[in-house]
Chains A and B, each alone.
Chain A
Amino acid sequence: MISICYSPLYLFELLLSEFVSGLTPYEKKKYVWKMLYIYMLGYDVDFGHMEAVSLISAPKYPEKQVGYIVTSCLLNENHDFLRLAINTVRNDIIGRNETFQCLALTLVGNIGGREFAESLAPDVQKLLISSSCRPLVRKKAALCLLRLYRKNPDVVNVDGWSDRMAQLLDERDLGVLTSSMSLLVALVSNNHEAYWSCLPKCVKILERLARNQDVPQEYTYYGIPSPWLQVKTMRALQYFPTVEDPNTRRSLFEVLQRILMGTDVVKNVNKNNASHAVLFEALALVMHLDAEKEMMSQCVALLGKFIAVREPNIRYLGLENMTRMLMVTDVQDIIKRHQAQIITSLKDPDISIRRRALDLLYGMCDVSNAKDIVEELLQYLSSADFAMREELSLKAAILAEKFAPDLSWYVDVILQLIDKAGDFVSDDIWFRVVQFVTNNEDLQSYAALKAREYLDKPAIHETMVKVSAYILGEYSHLLARRPGCSPKEIFHIIHEKLPTVSTSTIPILLSTYAKILMHNQPPDQELQKQILAIFNKYESCIDAEIQQRAVEYHALSMKGAALMDILAEMPKFPERQSSLIKKAEESEADTAEQSAIKLRAQQHTSNALVLTDQRPANGTPPVSQLGLVKVPSMTNTDQSTAEQELPHLNGALTVVDPQPPSTPSPDLLGDLLGPLAIEGPSGTAPQSDLGVASGLDGGVVAGALAIAPVEEQTNTVQPIGDIAERFHALCMKDSGVLYEDPYIQIGIKAEWRAHHGRVVLFLGNKNTAPLFSVQALILPPSHLKMELSLVPETIPPRAQVQCPLEVVNLKPSRDVAVLDFLYKFGTHVVNVRLRLPAVLNKFLQPITVSPDEFFPQWRSLSGPPLKLQEVVRGVRPMPLAEMANLFNSLHLMVCPGLDPNANNLVASTTFYSESTRAMLCLIRIETDPADRTQLRMTVASGDPTLTFELKEFIKEQLVFIPVPPRAPAPAPTPVPPQALPPTSPPTAISDPGALLAGLL
């Protein structure tokens, strides 16, 4: 083929010139292969796609094959050229030639585009269950269907597939069985309810394999009967929440026991891999099934054995599975017994294993062993690979922050961290330590002393210079009495570092000098002169930030007493979630397929992620900490900025901050560096005033909280009014009340423009006490993109908070978005699920069409799927005029006079979504004056999904669904608000998986 020494550029030119001239099919084939080769070398091949696609329709096998393979490698599902091939592919799939069928199925299975799904899914389904097809075709069909289903679950119809799946699992051919099992995993992971019938069959298959009955030789891999199928089957079983049938359960556990007991480490690497693949899957299944404690501890014992074996793969997986196990069950204590071994694994020759060990240590760390683990990590830091140091230092910092037994230890750890691996310590880490020191008075002199000690070291990292300079600037006066800590000495030791630092550090040093100058009491003329000389020097600095500071500090230092006020100590930082921990949470991203274990783990409230403010207080007083809110009031006139100091049960006073609780790290920098230079302590003044003002109010509430009887915890908060009714009313209008109970009222105001919408949620606290732990989460259906702005954690008394919500409609669908709303009032935790009125008709805009426009359109849209007709029975009887009103309120413009028959209605509207853009929809209703409960409805539009969804939507509106007080409303049903025990820790709300788990 291609000589390797061709330069790719030369090849490009060659190919381009060849494509221009006409080609024989043989040449075409040759060049398309070359194209793929260039692509593989890492060059973006954006030409010749047409040629590749056109080869698919070639009559001869070799060319066709090339076309198929190259197309599936080069093009992705969104590629326009694929449309050209759909017909050919379909013909190949429904054709008689099995070779062609295989090629086509491979292409569709590898690309899996939406258009393929729409036009081919039924044919593929037919192939899969047809008995006349050979196994070779059927196994490909199974995987092809799986791909189509996974990519476009809404297009591929799998209703009623449970019986067929059960049939497929009876298959004797292990190849087909393997593919079907993969398909089953995908189906079950989506909806396990429908596939209960498959469960016993899976267990049967497992038994058959474990006993090695009826397994052909070619599927025995190094003496183990199809490890693949065993693994897949156990994966499928993990998606069922439990095994209820006692017989099935017993036989399943027999098999599992056999696997757990009967696997040994042997000489042959491949056999080892295969048998342990099965074993690890069995472990995962046992963990999932929450087997008897006996089996569970057996599992941990096995894992403990694995992390010490010679075989590196098994060591790796032992650590990995222990990490997973941490999330699932309460075996932490047993795992802790292996801590020494895990720490030894940090010195494993394999970096992957070292990383796993680090992850496991990170996961298993809690208050009891934090000190040991963090110190171990610090020690390891100096010998760790450079590739790991950044992660290592980040993890050490997070653990130190999360589980610090006391704060001075935390400061020690971070300073050590900066000392040992300054290059790998991100700014977030040192910002955080400064924040802690500022907020804790007990810590300040200790931190200053430590910083002073580090400055004595001969060569220190620049980050260390920054931290020490900042801390000493703020708090060195606390040390003034100690030897070597006079302002002058501090100044000199810091000033020594100035020549070695970069421009980003100089501003911090200047601030430090200014603060030293301020604390220089009684004034030391010499020191003052020196510092002023430095300011003078930097007044002409090229860096604007440095120059500004130098000029300002110089001017300020001339002010005498006023300097004291302006340069007073920094006010406390608002308490907020650590940006480090936030980062760590974010990085735990999900992959396409939710693993069963993870799904379950999120149902358990994992204690792996402890919130910062739940630090165990032993000895040290808790940090003054509390949520902080600014309430953007709805009507600015009567509710001016309602900043309130809120009492907390532990009595700590709070700081009110005009920012939402979680601010990304860049602001942190602003916080640290900004006010220092310009503002001074003015921020503290209004707070203290407010504290006095609201003191009385707060006291009352705190008392009330303390008295609140415990029984109240289980009481239910009853909503005022019917939630379903309110929802239906809001579907027709754009503003109103969505939900109300004795404590809170949620109002809604919406504006809709084309496929965009802007909904504002008004959260109003009706009481004289604040509402805590307010959490609002949007669970959007797949067709809506919704973005809710930050909801403050606390709503002050009698205040109203606005939360804008941006909505984008991606495609037509009747699914409804759900708002999961949670708040705490006193001892109540109220959690409600509310449907949001972002329904189909909100994306409609009425349009009048003239007869000249209407009829050609109506005729051009002929027949299903673009035009659908249905006779609707059970219609709520209403006069025609009322129906016309209903239509108009649904944004369906009734066009009178288009239909000659007075009993008929014709309406038109435009639907907007991102996929369809503006799309004209036409509706015709033919009523029967004799029987008002039935009518014939015809809906037409340019998009089949839209037609269907719109038809169903109108039908829902017309058909009267009597709503008895507790009628099951259409899904998703609003869950009646219920009071949860307040002890339940807040779920990790930023985690989409937790949401999912909550829904299940």
Chain B
Amino acid sequence: MIRGVIIMNDQGKPRLIRFYEFQLIFGCCWSILIRGLRLACGEAAGAGSKHLQNRAENVSNFVKVDSLFGPSYDHQLAGCAACVQNFCNIYFVFIFDNSENELAMLDLMQVFVETLDKCFSNVCELDIVFNFNKVHTILDEIILGGQVLETSSSDVVMAVEDISKLEKNSNSIIPSIPGWQGR
């Protein structure tokens, strides 16, 4: 299952965090994780590359979480791997255990990024900071309880748009759902 999703900016500040198996870990463990991921991101990014496609050619997107903590550190993510991508100075991290296919995780991350891109038309860090309720909603449409819910970004966009409409005309007590067609 997918254990967690993290979005960070290029300084390693978390911009969205979602864990599915346990609640957020704090303190030392947390800072090690973030620092490790930051390092990993730095490597994945290569030197000053701006776009996903331009990332350093010869570096993979995968990191074993165990290696971030060192061999003897006891943490809740034992045996998990993380895949890391950067996109317009935002870093996306998915943490998942060995029941998931690594490359499929990368695909899913691409779906997530594409969806964000469609919803915010060229997503940037500020979009995520100021609309983080919306980002949460999008994420909830893609991943549920650590499992993949939907892989078609157009479906997700449709669902999210319907929800935003509801939010806007929240005057009616029980909102009607006119365009709410699953597909």
Choice from B43, B79, B145, B151 contacting A144 with Cβ under 8 Å: B145
Given the interface pairs A98-B177, A595-B99, the reply to whether A110 lies near B20 with Cβ below 8 Å is yes
Q: Are A69 and B133 in contact (CB under 8 A)?
A: yes
B132 within 8 A of A: yes
Q: Are A110 and B103 in contact (CB under 8 A)?
A: no
A671 within 8 A of B: no
Instruction: Produce 1/0 per residue, B66-106, CB < 8 A to A.
Output: 01001100000011100000000000000001110111101
Choice from B17, B67, B106, B110 contacting A313 with Cβ under 8 Å: B106
* Contacting residues of chain A (171-209) with chain B, CB-CB under 8 angstroms: 173-175, 178-179, 182, 185
Q: Are A134 and B107 in contact (CB under 8 A)?
A: no
Instruction: Produce 1/0 per residue, B151-165, CB < 8 A to A.
Output: 111110001001100
B48 within 8 A of A: no
Q: Are B182 and A391 in contact (CB under 8 A)?
A: no
User: How far in angstroms is the closest Cβ of chain A from B46?
Assistant: 10
Given the interface pairs A41-B14, A62-B170, the reply to whether A227 lies near B98 with Cβ below 8 Å is no
Choice from A39, A175, A182, A595 contacting B147 with Cβ under 8 Å: A182
Q: Are A352 and B62 in contact (CB under 8 A)?
A: yes
B16 partner residues in chain A, CB cutoff 8 A: 40
Q: Are A394 and B26 in contact (CB under 8 A)?
A: no
> In the complex, A421→B176 CA distance in Å?
69
User: How far in angstroms is the closest Cβ of chain A from B66?
Assistant: 8
User: How far in angstroms is the closest Cβ of chain A from B63?
Assistant: 5
Instruction: Produce 1/0 per residue, B16-47, CB < 8 A to A.
Output: 11101111101000110010000010010000
A578 within 8 A of B: no
> In the complex, A207→B167 CA distance in Å?
42
Q: How many A-B residue pairs lie within 8 Å, measured between CB atoms?
A: 230
B137 within 8 A of A: yes
A112 within 8 A of B: yes
Chain B residue with the shortest CB-CB distance to A60: B170
Instruction: Produce 1/0 per residue, A129-148, CB < 8 A to B.
Output: 00000111101100110110
Q: Are B166 and A61 in contact (CB under 8 A)?
A: yes
* Contacting residues of chain B (53-69) with chain A, CB-CB under 8 angstroms: 53, 57-64, 67
A707 within 8 A of B: no
User: How far in angstroms is the closest Cβ of chain B from A110?
Assistant: 5
Given the interface pairs A144-B144, A146-B147, A351-B43, the reply to whether A280 lies near B67 with Cβ below 8 Å is no
A273 partner residues in chain B, CB cutoff 8 A: 103, 106-107, 110
B108 partner residues in chain A, CB cutoff 8 A: 228
A144 partner residues in chain B, CB cutoff 8 A: 144-145
A99 within 8 A of B: yes
Q: Are A110 and B145 in contact (CB under 8 A)?
A: yes
Q: Are A69 and B155 in contact (CB under 8 A)?
A: no
Q: Are B103 and A135 in contact (CB under 8 A)?
A: no
A44 within 8 A of B: yes
A109 partner residues in chain B, CB cutoff 8 A: 144-145
Top 3 A-B residue pairs of the complex, sorted by shortest distance between their CB atoms: A277-B103, A134-B182, A312-B60
28 examples of A-B residue contacts, CB within 8 angstroms = A1-B130, A36-B132, A41-B14, A60-B170, A99-B175, A106-B140, A109-B145, A110-B20, A139-B150, A143-B149, A147-B145, A175-B182, A178-B149, A178-B150, A218-B153, A218-B155, A219-B151, A227-B107, A228-B148, A231-B104, A235-B99, A273-B107, A281-B101, A387-B70, A391-B71, A394-B71, A591-B80, A592-B21
- Measured CB to CB, the residues of B under 8 A from A are 1, 13-18, 20-24, 26, 30-31, 34, 40, 43, 52-53, 57-64, 67, 70-71, 78-80, 97-99, 101-104, 106-108, 110-111, 129-130, 132-133, 136-137, 140, 144-155, 159, 162-163, 166-167, 170, 173-175, 177, 180-183
Additional A-B contact list (5), CB under 8 Å, known A97-B177, A174-B152, A182-B147: A175-B149, A216-B152, A277-B106, A277-B107, A352-B64
